[in-house]
């Protein structure tokens, strides 16, 4: 008994000593990190928000910045410190530092740099590679390889296809699901916008048209619809990352997530097989570009075919990028128009001036329908789908910028430091956007700072599908507002709330994989 007691005491002393040494080393590393960035003002936390664990928490002062930090803070952290670059340093699991950046010139320096000076931290993109490597979660030569394959799909010819497909999908909505109804109530906007965006990317991106009635039917051999499988996967990517396969059957939610991943993988394999077997030569969509690039006759000497997992991985990433982000932008645009009926009326009158005979708009009308595009852009500015873009400094460097007093400041950036392009901070920076918290579509009708608008990222790694999304946005908003007015649904539990309270409620959002509305109830009333 005495020996056992001594052994336990010795073990406790040993564990305590090792823990103390570990804590002391972390402390020294943390001090060295702060010295390396010259103690640039910013956040000091225990847990790094660059880790999956850190992103599971909401913002907790001194503990972690959390997953919603940039969205909740907007430009305030920069305004408080008088500089559009602030630091973040975390103590655990190791000393980790990053710079949050909301300065146009510094961001331009990063996104337009060559030679791999500011690469993506690919470890943070692992969550997007469950179905295979892809253009978003790649760097260097691999990214160039993927870009070469997918870029031809986003052509002017495809933009016309996007417009025509979008118009047809909206007309199908009006003529079937909304037929005979003077007023349509949608309890949460995404129940409407997710199908719209999915149908468009399905038709124009993958040659997979889906009607509104077909969408509710589970195909033979499946347990979920394509829409439900994709939506569940995008909502539960973090679960898939954190929970091992053997544990995915422990709860009802985990079982549904496992089923959704399996179902979506099956859908994507079927999509590829059907196109390969169809012998269709006249398709110019994304799927055709991916498959065509794998034909031996189209491969240059030394080029490597896409593996099946790479094919599926790239299809998945474009479904997510072209589906969820666009759907959420539509939701916010609808809500903003509902909350600002004067802007909605201005948009309607603008459409009437462009289409006085009430005809269905064509792709050639898009440039004239500037107010529709302006509303879409303003929704993207106020609610950017991706709130931050992570980078890394591959070398020792410096950034030069002016502070709030106009004084030139130099920020020291050591090799290996994380860099966060704070898209929300940039979009709410009053230096570039007058009255940034106010919905003003007209700001996009004249001259505006394009470098301060990054909903599609920017530079060499800017979103290849940007024009696809912009075309879809203009078409949806134009056709919808030409035929319906949008208002916020009145609900008895919110009787008596002020306009500002209603605005805060319906525009409440959270950033998970992308920025999404919490709950947005709308009413669409047919124009007479």
Q: Residues comprising the binding site for heme?
A: 463
* Residues 6+ away with beta carbon under 8 Å from 213: 176
Q: Where are the beta strands (DSSP E) in 77-204?
A: 85-92, 96-101, 183-186
Q: If we measure between CA atoms, which residue out of 412, 372, 418 comes closest to residue 394?
A: 418
Residue numbering of the annotated binding site: 463
Tell me which H or E stretch contains 510: strand 509-511
Cα 388 to its chain centre, rounded Å, is 9
The two structure tokens encoding residue 113: 């740099």
Please report which residue ranges of 243-297 form alpha helices under DSSP H.
252-278, 286-292
DSSP 3-state of 296? helix
Strands 96-101 and 418-422: parallel
Residue 303 DSSP class: -
* Per-residue tokens: 344: 């909605």
- Evaluate whether 394 touches 116 at the Cβ level (below 8 Å): yes
Report the DSSP beta bridge partners of residue 184.
524
- Cβ pair 381, 424 in contact under 8 A: no
Answer for the pair 62, 45: CB distance below 8 angstroms, yes or no. yes
Contact 38, 413 (CB under 8 A): no
Enter the tokens of residue 375. Answer: 């509303």
Pairing type for strands 388-392 and 85-92 reads unpaired
Beta strands in 52-200 (DSSP E): 85-92, 96-101, 183-186
Burial of 422 (C-beta count, 10 Å sphere; 0-12/13-18/19+): buried
The count of C-alpha atoms lying within 13 angstroms of the C-alpha of 447, restricted to the half-sphere facing its C-beta, is: 0
Cβ distance 228 to 261 under 8 Å?
no
* Cβ-based neighbours of 391, under 8 Å, separated by 6 or more: 110, 118, 119, 120, 121, 418, 419, 420, 421
């Amino acid at each position: 008994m005495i020996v056992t007691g001594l052994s336990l005491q010795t073990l406790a002393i040993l564990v305590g000593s090792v823990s103390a040494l570990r804590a002391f080393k972390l402390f020294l590393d943390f001090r060295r990190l702060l010295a390396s960035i010259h103690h640039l003002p910013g956040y000091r936390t225990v847990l790094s928000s660059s880790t999956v664990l850190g992103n599971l928490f909401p913002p907790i002062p001194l503990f972690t910045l959390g997953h919603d930090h940039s969205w909740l803070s907007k430009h305030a952290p920069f305004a408080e410190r008088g500089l559009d670059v602030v630091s973040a340093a975390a103590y655990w699991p190791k000393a980790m530092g990053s710079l949050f950046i909301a300065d146009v010139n510094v961001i331009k320096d990063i996104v337009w740099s060559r030679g791999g000076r500011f690469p993506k931290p690919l470890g943070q993109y692992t969550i997007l590679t469950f179905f295979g490597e892809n253009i978003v979660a790649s760097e260097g030569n691999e990214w160039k390889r993927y870009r070469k394959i997918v870029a031809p799909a986003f052509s002017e010819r495809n933009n016309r296809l996007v417009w025509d497909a979008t118009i047809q999908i909206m007309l199908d909505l009006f003529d079937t699901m909304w037929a005979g109804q003077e007023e349509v109530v949608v309890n949460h906007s995404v129940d409407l916008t997710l199908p719209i965006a999915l149908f468009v990317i399905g038709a124009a991106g993958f040659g997979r048209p889906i009607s509104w009635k077909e969408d509710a039917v589970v195909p033979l051999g499946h347990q979920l619809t394509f829409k439900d499988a994709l939506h569940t996967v995008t909502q539960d990517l973090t679960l898939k990352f954190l929970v091992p396969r053997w544990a995915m059957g422990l709860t009802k939610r985990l079982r549904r997530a496992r089923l959704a991943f399996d179902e979506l993988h099956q859908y994507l394999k079927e999509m590829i097989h059907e196109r390969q077997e169809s012998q269709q030569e006249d398709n110019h969509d994304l799927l055709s570009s991916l498959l065509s690039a794998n034909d031996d006759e189209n491969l240059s000497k030394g080029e490597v075919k896409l593996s099946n997992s790479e094919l599926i991985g790239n299809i998945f990433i474009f479904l997510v990028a072209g589906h969820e982000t666009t759907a959420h932008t539509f939701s916010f645009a609808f809500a903003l128009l509902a909350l600002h009926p004067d802007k909605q009326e201005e948009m309607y009158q603008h459409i009437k001036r462009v289409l006085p005979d009430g005809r269905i708009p064509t792709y050639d009308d898009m440039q004239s329908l500037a107010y529709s595009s302006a509303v879409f852009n303003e929704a993207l500015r106020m609610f950017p789908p991706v709130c931050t873009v992570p980078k890394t400094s591959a070398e020792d460097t410096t950034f030069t910028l002016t502070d709030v007093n106009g004084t030139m400041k130099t920020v020291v950036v050591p090799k290996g430091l994380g860099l966060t392009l704070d898209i929300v901070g940039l979009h709410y920076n009053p230096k570039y956007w007058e009255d940034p918290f106010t919905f003003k579509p007209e700001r996009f009708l004249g001259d505006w700072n394009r470098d301060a608008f990054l909903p599609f990222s920017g530079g060499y790694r800017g979103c290849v599908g940007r024009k696809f999304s912009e075309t879809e946005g203009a078409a949806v908003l134009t056709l919808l507002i030409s035929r319906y007015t949008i208002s916020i649904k009145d609900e008895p539990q919110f009787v008596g709330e002020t306009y500002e309270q209603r605005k805060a409620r319906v525009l409440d959002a959270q950033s998970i994989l992308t920025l999404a509305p919490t709950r947005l109830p709308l009413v669409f009333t047919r124009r007479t």
